[in-house]
């Protein structure tokens, strides 16, 4: 990837990440509280739905930037723009690599954010300090494996579907899709991926919110899923599915549309610069 492409991916990814995280934060809070083991009302209900927003604001730019730099680089390295029946597989590999890298930034931010969302009366910095004091750095990375195990299947569905929908739309209209069309494709792809990966999201939430030292806090995804299934059945595994689908569909529209638009503008500016 040339330098303008690298910088465009970094900046466009960061802008898209901040935009979507701040706009959709209330829906994310509601989803987290629905999945909380203490129940929606005890976790705060509709009160303080912006609790934890500083953590999301700090983490969203570098998280999204890291994802898209990796995603675009791996696509370039694998020659994913060439027409081939292997193209969807290349998009899957690029998305998976992007998620593994991005989660190094996303997980600490997510741990602090989710604890703030179910403890609206406690300041975000105090939650961060408490985690470091009681659990150390590993406390900030609690749920890393479960987050990666949620994000990789999600991206394996979302990004190849997004790229395929864009390619199909481009073929039908005989020119490359506009940014708003890319956003529509992102909404469909995100909503579908959100629905099928909700049980993994529930497991991740339970692990991140579990008390230190408990069996759930160990980070075993299958054990967390089994515990939810045993206590709440299928409804528990799909807790928060509708706000998750709504948030990620809208998020896919904003995130991927904003990314495409910003990326195109920056590349155009890069080409015009001497």
Query: b/e map of 97-115 (b: 16 or more CB within 10 Å)?
Result: bbbbbbbebbbbbbbbbbb
* 150: alpha, beta or left? (left if phi > 0; alpha if psi -120 to 50): alpha
pLDDT above 50: residue 134:
yes
**Residue 211 near residue 136, CB atoms below 8 Å:** no
Q: What is the pLDDT of residues 58-108, one digit of tens each?
A: 888 888 889 888 988 888 888 766 666 778 888 889 989 998 999 998 899
- CA atoms of 47 and 43, how far apart (whole Å): 9
Residue 75 has what pLDDT?
85
Q: What is the pLDDT of residues 165-206, one digit of tens each?
A: 999 999 999 888 888 898 999 999 999 999 999 998 888 888
Residue 90 has what pLDDT?
85
DSSP 189-248: HHHHHHHHTHHHHHHHHHHHHSPTTSSGGG--HHHHHHHHHHHHHHHHHTTTHHHHHHHH
Best CA proximity match to 80, nearest among 70, 94, 99, 68: 94
Q: Considering its fold, how many domains does the chain have in total?
A: 1
**Is the pLDDT higher at 220 or at 68?**
68
Quick one: pLDDT band at residue 4, thresholds 50, 70, 90? very low
pLDDT-wise least confident of 8-22, 24-38, 46-60, 75-89? 75-89
pLDDT-wise least confident of 168-177, 195-204, 221-230, 259-268? 259-268
Neighbours of 230 (CB within 10 A): 9
Residue 192 has what pLDDT?
94
pLDDT above 80: residue 155:
yes
**Is the pLDDT higher at 270 or at 118?**
118
Residue 216 has what pLDDT?
74
SS3 content of the chain, % helix, strand, coil (to 5): 80, 0, 20
pLDDT-wise least confident of 199-203, 228-232, 267-271? 267-271
Neighbours of 184 (CB within 10 A): 18
Residue 198 has what pLDDT?
92
Q: What is the mean pLDDT of the chain?
A: 84
Domain harbouring 237, CATH code: 1.50.40.10
Residue 165 has what pLDDT?
93
pLDDT above 60: residue 2:
no
**Residue 11 near residue 70, CB atoms below 8 Å:** no
- CA atoms of 132 and 118, how far apart (whole Å): 18
Quick one: pLDDT band at residue 222, thresholds 50, 70, 90? confident
Instruction: Domain of residue 178: give its range.
Output: 2-270
DSSP state of 123: -
- CA atoms of 223 and 219, how far apart (whole Å): 8
């Amino acid at each position: 990837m040339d330098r303008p492409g690298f910088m465009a991916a970094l900046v466009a990814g960061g802008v898209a990440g901040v935009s979507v995280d701040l706009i959709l934060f209330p829906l994310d809070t509601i989803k987290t509280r629905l999945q909380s083991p203490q129940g929606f009302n005890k976790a705060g209900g509709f009160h303080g739905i912006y609790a934890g927003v500083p953590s999301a604001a700090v983490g969203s730019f570098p998280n999204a930037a890291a994802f898209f730099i990796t995603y675009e680089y791996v696509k370039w390295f694998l020659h994913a723009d060439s027409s081939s029946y292997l193209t969807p597989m290349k998009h899957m590999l690029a998305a998976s690599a992007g998620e593994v890298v991005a989660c190094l930034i996303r997980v600490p931010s997510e741990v602090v954010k989710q604890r703030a969302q179910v403890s609206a009366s406690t300041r975000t910095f105090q939650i961060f300090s408490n985690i470091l004091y009681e659990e150390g750095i590993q406390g900030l990375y609690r749920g890393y494996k479960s987050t990666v195990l949620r994000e990789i299947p999600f991206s394996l569905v979302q990004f190849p579907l997004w790229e395929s929908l864009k390619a199909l739309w481009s073929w039908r209209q005989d020119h490359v899709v506009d940014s708003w069309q890319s956003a529509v494709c992102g909404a469909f792809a995100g909503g579908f991926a959100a629905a099928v990966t909700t049980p993994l999201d529930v497991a991740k939430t339970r692990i991140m919110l579990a008390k230190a030292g408990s069996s759930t806090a160990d980070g075993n995804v299958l054990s967390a899923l089994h515990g939810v299934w045993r206590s709440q059945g299928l409804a528990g595994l799909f807790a928060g599915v509708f706000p998750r689908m709504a948030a990620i569909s809208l998020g896919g529209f904003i995130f991927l549309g904003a990314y495409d638009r910003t990326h195109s503008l920056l590349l155009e500016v890069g080409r015009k610069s001497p």
